[in-house]
Chain A
Amino acid sequence: MHIIASGLSHKTAPIEIREALTFPEHNMGEALTSLTSLPNINEGVILSTCNRTEIYAVANDIDKGRNDLVTFFNDCYKEDCDLEEYLYFHDALAAVNHLFRVIASLDSMVVGEAQILGQVKEAYAHAFDAQTTNIVFNRLFRQAFAVGKRVRTETDIGENAVSISYAAIQLAKKVFGDLTGKSVMIVGAGKMSELTAKHLVSNGVTNVLIANRSHDKAVKMAKLFNGQAVEFENLADEMAAADIVISSTGAENFVIKPEDMKVVMSKRRYRPIFLIDIAVPRDIAPEVNDFENVYLYDIDDLQSVVDSNLAERSREAKEAESIIKIEVQNFLSWQSTLEVVPTISELRKKAESIRRGELEKLANKFNNLSDEEKNALNALTSGIINKLLHDPMVRLKESSRHKEGYLYVDALRHLFDLDEGDKEEQKQEARETVQNNVRAVKDPHGAG
Chain B
Amino acid sequence: MSERLVIIFFWLAFMTYAAAFIFYLYLFFNKRQIMGVLAVSLTALGFLFHTISFGARWVSVGYIPLEGAFESYSMFAWAVVLIYLTLMWKSELKVLGAWLMPFVGVLLGISWVKYESPERLSEVVKNTWIILHVSVVFLAYAGFTIAAVLALLYLIQQRQLKKRHVNLFFRRLPALEVLDDWSNRAISMALPFMTMTIITGMIRAIKDFPSWYYDPFVISTALTWFLFGLYIALRYLRDWRGRRIAYMAIAGFASIFLIQVMKVFSGFHQFG
Q: Which of A177, A269, A309, A312 contacts B175 (CB 8 A)?
A: A177
Q: Mark B34-45, 1 if CB is under 8 A from A, else 0.
A: 100000000000
Bound together, the chains give a CA A176 to CA B175 distance in angstroms of 6
Task: Report A289-306 residues with CB < 8 Å from chain B CB.
Answer: 289, 292-293, 295, 297, 301, 304-305
Cβ of B170 and Cβ of A174 under 8 Å apart? yes
Bound together, the chains give a CA A439 to CA B176 distance in angstroms of 34
Q: Is B215 an interface residue (CB 8 A)?
A: no
> CB-CB < 8 A to B241: which residues of A?
270-272, 293
Cβ of B164 and Cβ of A175 under 8 Å apart? no
What's the minimum C-beta distance from B138 to chain A, rounded to whole angstroms? 30
What's the minimum C-beta distance from A169 to chain B, rounded to whole angstroms? 12
Bound together, the chains give a CA A58 to CA B31 distance in angstroms of 37
Cβ of A295 and Cβ of B161 under 8 Å apart? yes
User: Which of B92, B174, B177, B238 has the most chain A CB within a 10 Å cutoff?
Assistant: B177
Given the interface pairs A171-B161, A174-B161, the reply to whether A305 lies near B166 with Cβ below 8 Å is: yes
Bound together, the chains give a CA A156 to CA B167 distance in angstroms of 13
What's the minimum C-beta distance from B164 to chain A, rounded to whole angstroms? 5
Q: Which of A153, A175, A304, A309 contacts B161 (CB 8 A)?
A: A175
Cβ of A312 and Cβ of B239 under 8 Å apart? no
> CB-CB < 8 A to A173: which residues of B?
175
Q: Mark B221-259, 1 if CB is under 8 A from A, else 0.
A: 000000000000000001111111000000000000000
Q: Is B207 an interface residue (CB 8 A)?
A: no
Q: Is A154 an interface residue (CB 8 A)?
A: yes
What's the minimum C-beta distance from B108 to chain A, rounded to whole angstroms? 33
What's the minimum C-beta distance from B221 to chain A, rounded to whole angstroms? 31
Cβ of B177 and Cβ of A176 under 8 Å apart? yes
Q: Mark B146-186, 1 if CB is under 8 A from A, else 0.
A: 00000000000100011010110011001111100100000
> CB-CB < 8 A to B92: which residues of A?
177
Q: Is A132 an interface residue (CB 8 A)?
A: no
> CB-CB < 8 A to B34: which residues of A?
154
Cβ of A175 and Cβ of B176 under 8 Å apart? yes
> CB-CB < 8 A to B86: which residues of A?
none
Cβ of A292 and Cβ of B176 under 8 Å apart? no
Bound together, the chains give a CA A89 to CA B173 distance in angstroms of 44
Q: Is A308 an interface residue (CB 8 A)?
A: yes
What's the minimum C-beta distance from A203 to chain B, rounded to whole angstroms? 13
Interface size on A, residues (CB 8 A): 29
> CB-CB < 8 A to A154: which residues of B?
32-34
Q: Which of A156, A160, A293 contacts B242 (CB 8 A)?
A: A293
Bound together, the chains give a CA A33 to CA B241 distance in angstroms of 65
Give the interface size class of chain B. 20 to 34
- Closest residue of chain B to A309, judged by CB? B166
> CB-CB < 8 A to B242: which residues of A?
270, 272, 292-293
Q: Mark B17-57, 1 if CB is under 8 A from A, else 0.
A: 00000000000001111100000000000000000000000
> CB-CB < 8 A to B243: which residues of A?
292-293
- Closest residue of chain B to A154, judged by CB? B32
Cβ of A295 and Cβ of B162 under 8 Å apart? yes
- Closest residue of chain A to B31, judged by CB? A156
Q: Which of B157, B166, B240 contacts A308 (CB 8 A)?
A: B166
Q: Which of B171, B175, B239 contacts A175 (CB 8 A)?
A: B175
> CB-CB < 8 A to A292: which residues of B?
242-244
- Closest residue of chain A to B180, judged by CB? A272
> CB-CB < 8 A to A156: which residues of B?
31, 171
Cβ of A153 and Cβ of B175 under 8 Å apart? no
What's the minimum C-beta distance from B234 to chain A, rounded to whole angstroms? 11
- Closest residue of chain B to A175, judged by CB? B176
Q: Which of A176, A178, A293, A305 contacts B164 (CB 8 A)?
A: A305
What's the minimum C-beta distance from B248 to chain A, rounded to whole angstroms? 14
Given the interface pairs A270-B239, A271-B239, the reply to whether A174 lies near B157 with Cβ below 8 Å is: yes
> CB-CB < 8 A to B239: which residues of A?
269-271
Q: Mark A397-439, 1 if CB is under 8 A from B, else 0.
A: 0000000000000000000000000000000000000000000
Q: Mark A300-332, 1 if CB is under 8 A from B, else 0.
A: 010011001100100000010000000000000
Q: Mark B120-133, 1 if CB is under 8 A from A, else 0.
A: 00000000000000
Q: Which of B164, B176, B178 contacts A297 (CB 8 A)?
A: B164
> CB-CB < 8 A to A176: which residues of B?
175-177
Cβ of A301 and Cβ of B178 under 8 Å apart? no
> CB-CB < 8 A to A269: which residues of B?
238-239
Bound together, the chains give a CA A155 to CA B32 distance in angstroms of 7
Bound together, the chains give a CA A155 to CA B162 distance in angstroms of 27
Q: Which of A171, A177, A309 contacts B174 (CB 8 A)?
A: A177
Instruction: List 6 interface pairs A-B (beta carbons < 8 Å), by A numbering.
Output: A155-B31, A174-B170, A271-B241, A292-B244, A293-B243, A308-B166
What residues of chain A have their CB less than 8 Å away from a CB belonging to chain B?
Answer: 153-156, 159-160, 171, 173-178, 269-272, 289, 292-293, 295, 297, 301, 304-305, 308-309, 312, 319
In the complex, besides A176-B176, A292-B242, 13 extra interface pairs with C-beta distance below 8 angstroms are: A156-B31, A174-B161, A175-B175, A175-B176, A177-B178, A269-B238, A270-B241, A270-B242, A272-B177, A272-B241, A292-B243, A301-B164, A305-B164
Enumerate the 4 nearest inter-chain pairs by beta-carbon distance, A residue then B residue, closest first.
A177-B175, A177-B178, A308-B166, A269-B239
What residues of chain B have their CB less than 8 Å away from a CB belonging to chain A?
Answer: 30-34, 92, 157, 161-162, 164, 166-167, 170-171, 174-178, 181, 238-244
